A and B are shown apart, each in its own frame.
Chain A
Amino acid sequence: MTMPASTAAAYEVIGTNAPRTDALAKVQGKAQFTGDLQVHGMTYGRVLRSPYAHARIVSIDASAAEALPGVVAVMTGRNIPSSDPYYGHALKDRPVLALDRVRFVGEPVAAVAAESPAIADAALDLIDITYEELPAVTTIDQALAPGAPLLHDAPNLRAGLFHGLGEIRLEEGNVCYHHAFARGDSDAVFANADIVVEGEYVFPAVFQYSMEPHTTIAAWMDDDDLTVWSSCQHPFLVRAELANLFNLPVGAVRVVVPFLGGGFGAKSYTKMEPITSSLARLTRRPVRIANSVDESMVTTRRHGMKAWMRTAATKEGKLLAREVRAWFDTGAFADNGPRVVATGADAAPGPYTWEAVKVDAWGVYTNTSPAGSYRAFGATHLQWCGELQVDEIGRRCGLDALQMRERNLLQYGESVRPGGKPLDADLIGDMRRVAQSLNWDAPKPDGVVGRGMSVGLLAAGAHPVSTASIRMEADGSLTLLVSSTEVGQGARTVFAQIVAEELGVAPERVRVPGGDTRLTPYDRSTGASRSTTLAGMAVLRAAQDIRQQLLEIGGRFLDLPEVALEIRDGAVRHEGEAVSFPDLIKFHFGMVGGELMGNGAVRPEKGSGSYAEGPVFWEVCIGGVELAVDPETGIVTLNKVVSVADVGKALNPRQVVTQEMGGANQGIGNALFEEMIFDETGTLQNATLYEYHVPTIADMPLAFSLKHCGERGWAGTLRAPRAWAKGRWPAWPPQLPRHWRMQASTSTNFLRLLSASGGPCKRSSQPDRRAMPAQSMKEATTDEGLPAGQWHPAARHVVRDMEPQSGSGVSLPGLFDLH
């Protein structure tokens, strides 16, 4: 890899806390998000959504809606004007609008374009749809039961454009993807192991809640020229999908990305763009569709999961083998499910050395809203379970969380998975930093229930293809063309810093507009921590290209060899002489005009860049907490949260810290209280922000510490403020399993279990959470109060008891390292 020319010298811009290039616009309300745009002649689209989880559409009568003054067009499954009604980047399983049946509550069934949002809204009421309800499967268990109703004709689905998983093997039933691998003889290892811990785990679905709901504007300039402004993270993948949908060359589709009000994976791949583009084509006018938050909640979510896992170890605490079976609830359509399943399964062994591993993971269709990406997807689900088991083994061996990891973690340079990139981090050192920050060996202060920490790895980078271009105008103005989406992570700022460093100018001099697939060059996607690392590398190379051109022109101008020249403060210099960039460009073109164009690209440097050969780098996910619990209420107070930003050289340390703090905040919400609750009809029970609680200021930890953010650079790569906060929550949920969530009785129960000294906790049956109030009130009056010592969980999120091995005498579910 080519290093920046300035590597040897001290950096001037890289490594500084350069202010965000977009701060002034954002703080004044001038930054434009998709919903802030007005397009001439724009109509307003609204979507009618299914009230049923599974139903046949018997008839649709839209005539009254069409007749409403101000309605421009009504689109249903009968008049979708695309070449192919189906799309989906992994599997083409999703129709633009429901065709003959609906598969989840909230599925778009019809869309109206009207002269005002109010008219569009009123028109929805006038669309008459007759449904015939079908049996639905709203849980993984129901979907996998013999004879379960099928959501799709799975074996005959077509692969999408970007599944990125090689050949997708399709199976019968409600399974959209099966990922499996095995190494070593796990049966033999388990048969002879001193310690085996085993458990079943339930991981709830959560909502990404990027504050800006999905918003898209589509305008057809002609039948073969589509422009889409959209709150999307991956404009080039959206472009390809739309081109495919309408059978157009990719160049005929232009996707423009304004500022995004957060993404977190919710805006990865294609979401509302197919409906909006189709409606605009039907309408023959621009259309805007702006989701409400409740609509966004049924547009995408994180996968719920259930899993079985067992881990074998020696009595000295040496990990030996792990077996996993996991089922990911991808909802009614695959969306990014196959990729999440594969990444999650690959991460299941965690960053440890094994004699044997055996992993099976399935993506399962259910009649619920589709699930896709959410921060650090794949890193979270199964490493959470794995870390619980590591702690449990430690408990049986008399080792604490740190000691277990010191004995078992992979070392720098060791293989994480065969054929992939070796580990490029010092995990044990990072863990020790966390321990130190938590005062790991010091007595716990009053009221503190425990300290915990854990570790995971995220395969970062996705497919390594990014390009960038820089224009240097005749007066020296710099415009960076790069398609990485500014979702809030600060990509534009870091890119400006990179250009500024290379070209010896102030970062404010570098304009970084948003992505526009017709103008800014190709970038695969914005996610998987790839903006700074990969798009940033392309930016660096584009800047180096310009730099080289300036040196070449400067050499001619000064009649000196290039090696005698340096670039600093906006000029090419040699000893006392300096020629400004504008003078060089004027010299080059012989007039005041023209421009220099620099290009940079990143592509796989060896191999195909495939997922199996990856990742681009291993992202370290390490965190620790110290917490107190109110024993009466189960309410958790986080005294301290520690995260590790093992990023190598931070290009903008303050942005790294801010990303980490924000990621930690979401981890807190996920671990303590966020969960999408579907009832048995498949209806989301908490579809508003006043019922789906996300962390507020009141939920902040009392202290936050970020370790290891600064110089490191062992890999020599630009590993800096990441495009995405790392998935630190693999480190968290193991310490704060779902038991600890505040809204469930389980929190209190678990406290009681902790204080009980008796045998293994028993799992109670699932309560009927939809008990009728009247009936329950009656029950309540006859209840004899709290059987204090033996109060068992109404366990909704239970990490089920790990069955103790004979003679081990373990008494608690292996949830917490109560250090």
Chain B
Amino acid sequence: MLRPFAIHQPMTVSEATSLMRDYGDAAAFYAGGTELLIVLKEHLAVVDHLIDLKRIPGLDEISLQDDGASLKIGALATHRAIERSVLVQRRLPVLAALEAKVANVRVRAAGTLGGNLCFADPHSDPATLLSALGATLTLDNGTAQRNVRADAFTTDLMTTDREPDEVLTHITVPLPGANVGTGYERIKLHERPTVSAAAVITVADNLIAAARLYLGCIGDAPQRLRDVEDVLVGLPALVTSGERVKPLIASLALTYDTPFESARYKRQLASAVGVRAIAAAVANAVHPQGSRHAV
């Protein structure tokens, strides 16, 4: 049951950050609330003030940057909005498909991408893909903005680089080039995803010219497997090439036992989804039309 709190509905980012500075630890930013309200109901956190960011104009916009090379997704855009955005579906279908599988339709209708990233629950989808895509998060404290790489944002278990008085305003995602393929694979054994992998593969001359591979959900934050990437580069651009790195993925995956899955099992799952993500990305790079929806 929720304890009493006040609601504040600022109309600008600076108003929001100023409220946050006023109330300090007694306040929390509030967007979709899908995670926060459960935490508050279970009394795992207590706040006296919720600063609702949803009235701030523009924070939920999804647009193509002027240069046409990246998508700008407002932090308050809901999973549903991203899933159903024609722009995202056409320009970054791997993200639209990912968003379509987040939790359930009710969570997607309320939950926001920004809230998801700031809560930094490891058992979550978007951060891993955004890390692999090289996305940038923009934080605003009302007076100054700064950018943080998506893969540097989560610093520890459910902890991020965001200062308490900073609002995550938007996420900028560079769009993959013509010879770049993306793949996102996950396994969900409970309500929340158990393990995920995101791959971004550049193909040139029928070879893998560059690769980014991230694992999600199994550790405290998305983890980049650079050693795997190094092995991938130079391999033939075949969907089977990922098989080569399967044992390496399992051995590099950082994870731990939980009451639900052992570390070993999760490493096994990680190698499976990792290889599948690589295969999807290679296929996507080679035949962009045919595999865009393979998530």
* Residues of chain A at the chain B interface (Cβ within 8 Å): 117-118, 121-122, 630, 632-635, 673, 677, 679, 685-686, 689-691, 693, 742-748, 767-773, 775-777, 779-781, 783-786, 788, 791, 794
Contacts and interface: CB of A to CB of B under 8 A. Distances in A.
Given A689-B191, A690-B191, A785 B247 contact: yes
Contacts of B250: 785-786
Contact of A780 (B3, B256, B261): B256
B239 interface: no
Most central of B255, B258, B265 by chain A CB within 10 Å:
B265
A630 B191 CA distance: 20
A770 B258 CA distance: 6
Contact of B264 (A118, A122, A768, A794): A794
A772 B258 CA distance: 9
Contacts of B254: 777, 780-781
Contact of B258 (A632, A689, A769): A769
A691 B190 contact: yes
**Chain B CB within 10 A, most for which of A686, A693, A773, A791:** A773
A121 B1 contact: yes
Contact of B261 (A690, A743, A788): A743
B263 A776 contact: yes
Contacts of A773: 157, 220, 256
8 contacts: A632-B268, A632-B272, A686-B259, A691-B190, A742-B189, A770-B259, A773-B256, A776-B263
Contacts of A630: 272
A369 to B, nearest CB: 16
Interface in B86-145: none
A121 B1 CA distance: 7
B40 interface: no
Q: Which 10 A-B pairs have the closest CB atoms?
A: A745-B265, A776-B256, A785-B251, A690-B191, A745-B262, A632-B272, A685-B259, A121-B1, A794-B262, A693-B190
A780 to B, nearest CB: 5
Contacts of B264: 745, 786, 791, 794
What band does the interface of chain B fall in when counting residues whose beta carbon is under 8 Å from A? 20 to 34
B267 interface: yes
A748 B265 contact: yes
B192 interface: yes
B253 interface: yes
Nearest to B260: A743
B174 interface: no
Interface of B: 1, 3, 157, 187, 189-192, 194, 219-220, 247-248, 250-251, 253-269, 271-272
Contacts of A748: 265, 268
A769 B253 CA distance: 18
A632 B268 CA distance: 7
Contacts of A769: 257-259, 262
Q: Main SS of chain B's interface residues?
A: loop
A743 B3 contact: no
A521 B271 CA distance: 62
B251 A786 contact: yes
Contact of B260 (A118, A633, A686): A686
B268 A783 contact: no
Nearest to B188: A698
Nearest to B259: A685
A633 B257 contact: no
Contacts of A779: 263
Given A743-B261, A776-B256, A786-B247, 11 more contacts: A118-B1, A633-B269, A673-B189, A685-B259, A747-B265, A748-B268, A770-B259, A772-B256, A775-B256, A777-B219, A786-B250
Contact of B262 (A635, A677, A686, A767): A767
Contacts of B271: 632, 786
B18 to A, nearest CB: 30
A752 B253 CA distance: 20
B257 A679 contact: no
Contacts of B268: 632-633, 745, 748, 786
A743 B220 contact: no
Nearest to A691: B190
In this complex, the member of A117, A745, A769 whose beta carbon has the largest number of chain B beta carbons within 10 angstroms is A745
B3 A122 contact: yes
Contacts of A791: 264
Given A121-B1, A745-B262, A794-B262, A771 B191 contact: no
B93 to A, nearest CB: 22
A635 B157 CA distance: 27
B241 to A, nearest CB: 17
B150 to A, nearest CB: 22
Contacts of A121: 1
Contact of A743 (B190, B219, B263): B190
A416 to B, nearest CB: 39
A743 B189 contact: yes
Nearest to B41: A292
A117 B2 CA distance: 10
A225 to B, nearest CB: 32
Contacts of B256: 771-773, 775-777, 780
A363 to B, nearest CB: 26
B253 A677 contact: no
